Amino acid sequence: MFTRFVIHAYDNDSGRRQGLFQALADLDESGLLQGPHQGVYQELRDWFRHHLKQPSSFARAARPHAKKVALSWFKDSAVEHIRQMRRMSTLLAEHDVAVQVLRTKRPGYIVYEDEHQVAAEPFSDTPT
């Protein structure tokens, strides 16, 4: 199984619901994360920078302006990464941002994979 965390706002690049990294970055940029919440956000952001590779591809097409349609999913073996995402979910909930956890066996056509995650262009029946 694969796990993805999303909010209800849409991402301009993929046309799908936003993930938590973008949601928290938007809150931070708008000045809504302050005091201990900003510290928790910075700690989580730094943890992921050190423990999760940024996918090298988000599209099957190699064209320079190809639409970035792939979505990132955690593998079940990424237990600590998923735990840290739940901390992000809690932080968002404290700012009245609802988080939904999606699970699937079929994330889509995989365009990137490492030990913790895949990036996949969703199939028509993939939850997004």
pLDDT(18) > 90: yes
Residue 72 falls inside a structural domain: yes
Dist CA 71 CA 57 (whole Å):
10
pTM of the full structure? 0.90
Gap between the Cα atoms of 103 and 80, Å rounded: 17
Between CA 95 and CA 65 the distance in angstroms is 35
DSSP 51-102: HSPPPS-S-S--STT-----EEEEETT-HHHHHHHHHHHHHHHTTT---EEE
Residue 7 lies in a domain: yes
With respect to residue 18, please indicate whether it lies within any of the assigned structural domains: yes
Residue 127 domain-assigned (yes or no): no
- pLDDT tens-digit readout, 64-105: 555 558 999 999 999 999 999 999 999 999 999 999 999 999
Phi, psi of 114 (to 5 degrees): -140, -170
Q: Residue 45 domain-assigned?
A: yes
Domain coverage including residue 92 = 2-121
Q: What is the pLDDT of residue 64?
A: 56
Our count of domains for the chain comes to: 1
Residue 35 domain-assigned (yes or no): yes
Q: Is residue 99 part of a domain?
A: yes
> Does 128 map to a domain?
no
20-69 per-position pLDDT tens digit? 999 999 999 999 999 999 999 999 999 999 999 998 766 565 555 555 58
